[in-house]
Amino acid sequence: MDASLSERLLPWYREHGRDLAFRRSRDPYAILVSEVLLQRTRVASGLPYYERFLARFPTVGDLARATGEEVLKAWEGLGFYGRARNLHRTAKAIVADHDGEVPRRSAELRTLPGIGDYTAGAVASIAFGERVPAVDGNAARVLARVFRLGGDVSRGDARRRLMAIASRLVPEGDPGAFNQALMELGATVCRPKAPRCPACPIREGCGAYADGEPDAYPRFRARARVPVVRVAFALAERDGKVLLVRRPAAGLLAGMWGLPGGELPPRRSEAAVLRGFLRDLGLTARTIGVAGPVEHAFSHRRWQGTVYRVKASGSARLPEGAIWATALDLLRLPIVPFHRRFLEARGPPTVGPPSPG
């Protein structure tokens, strides 16, 4: 099956592969950006960001010279902002340590910030023709079904078996096209649910198809239940400006600007916690209404709570990391996306709870 797999897969890919902007480029930097940006992001959603990001930072040097806020602003709305911060650090490392040239070998690429086996293999094989595998979730699903790989192929011995098979399959000629073909097959034909087996070019050699149970592969460890965490945020305005704070440099939404507030300690009221957040900024506050509910899911937790309209008083001089933001600030700053929706929808407050003080 090893040789025949690439012999069947590559012609299929040339005929049926989607015509996507990032596949038309041979620029290693553009390929690197696409591979980082499209991790955990649907292609249809990610393509506009990819094109805007490259228009904003057309070279690795442009990205390296940008500020962190500029990079986060270009990434705003994509989520998983650690990818943006790592890509920025990678650009700086490429300029500082590699004379501005993207490393050609996967082993060198893996030394860059946030670059793992998949991204290193994808860039090295697609941009430079190195014979290395690039196994994303789509490719892993295809291989697990073809070779009937038991166990959780995302970790441990099952993952090592998967990668050994993937390494063996990559052909000498055009390894980048092969890796992309395998991923494309998983994305469009060998789908997680309701795979389109009759349209698959390698079904005759597929163990799961022969058994009539493709849905049995791959197997993953059951996900832990995502906890629900209470949050509250304050929407405070003064003289046409809105109060924003910069989130810490590490953790959820690191470096983004947003409304003051956050996660609530157990058994503390939303109003009391918000007063504390604002007191730390030198402000006193009372709620005057409800701007709306918060319902926001991350990969490992879910936020539920409320954004309150707040009347704040106190010194106009705020500590570092907090500003009364103008309309221009709202355009240039990277803002927590669901907070931006509240900012763009500002209007008369709805009836809220009694004032906390």
Classify the C-alpha dihedral 30-32-34-36 as positive or negative: negative
pLDDT of residue 357: 34
Tell whether 196 and 55 lie within a shared domain: yes
CB 285 within 8 A of CB 234: yes
315 closest CA partner among 289, 357, 286, 278 = 278
- One domain, residues 233 and 210: no
Domain shared by 8 and 141, yes or no? yes
Q: How far apart are the C-alpha atoms of 73 and 302, rounded to whole Å?
A: 23
Last residue of a domain, one of 169, 189, 216: 216
* pLDDT tens digits for range 113-127: 999 999 999 999 999
In a domain, 12, yes or no: yes
Q: What does the pLDDT look like over 282-334, one tens digit per residue?
A: 998 888 899 999 999 998 899 999 999 999 888 778 999 999 999 999 999 99
- In a 3-state reduction of DSSP, which class is residue 303? strand
**Statement to judge: residues 245 and 200 lie in one domain:** no
Pairing of β 228-238 and β 302-314: parallel
Residues 251, 204 within the same domain: no
Counted domains in the chain: 2
Size of the chain, expressed as the number of residues it contains: 357
Residue 41 and residue 120 in one domain: yes
**According to the model, what pLDDT value does residue 278 have?**
93
Rounded to 5 degrees, what are φ and ψ at 305?
A: 170, -145
User: Which of the 8 DSSP states describes residue 136?
Assistant: -
Lowest mean pLDDT among 88-97, 143-152, 187-196, 283-292: 283-292
Whether the bond between 218 and the residue before it is cis, its omega within 30 degrees of 0, is: yes
At 152-192, the pLDDT tens digits run 998 999 999 999 999 999 999 899 999 999 999 999 999 99
Domain housing 96: 2-216
In this structure, what CATH number is given to the domain that contains residue 142? 1.10.340.30
If one compares 246 and 312, the residue with the highest pLDDT of the two is 246
CB neighbourhood size of 212 (10 A): 9
Say whether both 203 and 237 belong to one domain: no
Q: Is residue 297 part of a domain?
A: yes
Res. 353: pLDDT tops 70: no
In this structure, what CATH number is given to the domain that contains residue 278?
3.90.79.10
User: Could you say which of 175, 193, 216 is where a domain stops?
Assistant: 216
| Mean pLDDT, the chain, whole residue set | 92
19 and 140 fall within a common domain: yes
Which residues partner with 324 through β-bridges?
243
**Does the annotation mark 35 as catalytic?**
yes
Could you tell me the two tokens for 172?
Answer: 């000498």
Q: Does a structural domain hold residue 23? A: yes
* Confidence at residue 347, expressed as pLDDT on a 0 to 100 scale: 58
Average pLDDT over residues 260-276: 90
- Same domain? For 209 and 232 the reply is no
Does any domain span residue 355? no
User: Residue 351: inside a domain, yes or no?
Assistant: no
> Would 222 be classed as within a structural domain?
no
151 & 235 share domain: no
Same domain, 210 and 232: no
In a domain, 300, yes or no: yes
Q: Of 7, 35, 69, 70, which residue is the catalytic one?
A: 35
Q: Is residue 246 part of a domain?
A: yes
